[in-house]
Amino acid sequence: MRIFSICLCLVYAVAQSAIAQTAAKPAIVGMKAMPVTVTAGSYQLINQVIDVPPGAAIPRHTHGGPAVVTMVSGALVVTDAKGTRTLKAGQTFTEPTGYVHAVANKGSIPARVSVSYLIPKGAQVTTMVK
């Protein structure tokens, strides 16, 4: 009986090992590195997940620090001094401090975007620009 128990334990361990080797694993599907030079002081790392419904827009604005933006779903049209471009789900891009831009969802489905900002303590995350 004892040998049977040991064999059963070995079979279970081998099976678990095989399952672990074939199980789905997380994968990095996007990454953006951005050089950042900051002065000494206190900062906040702020992350926002923003849902932009079809037809909605965010007028011209800037951010108080650099940002890393990842489109989670849908698409957004970004307008800046260089023109317009469409950002689609899965794309990641960066915004330098003071980058003036507007964003609009011109599609028929909601867009979701995740934005991480490095903001000096006391600075505004977003400032509207006329």
Please state the pTM of the whole predicted model.
0.75
Residue from 118, 68, 64, 129 nearest 93 by CA: 68
In the predicted model, what is the mean pLDDT of residues 90-96? 91
**Mean pLDDT across the stretch 10-34?**
68
| Tokens 């794309």 sit on residue | 91
Residue 59 has pLDDT above 60, yes or no: yes
Architecture of domain 43-128: Sandwich (2.60)
Count, in order, helices (H) and strands (E) of the chain: 1, 9
Angle at 93 between CA 92 and CA 96, to 5 degrees: 150
Listed by start position, the domains of the chain span: 43-128
Mean pLDDT of 104-124: 96
CB 93 within 8 A of CB 113: no
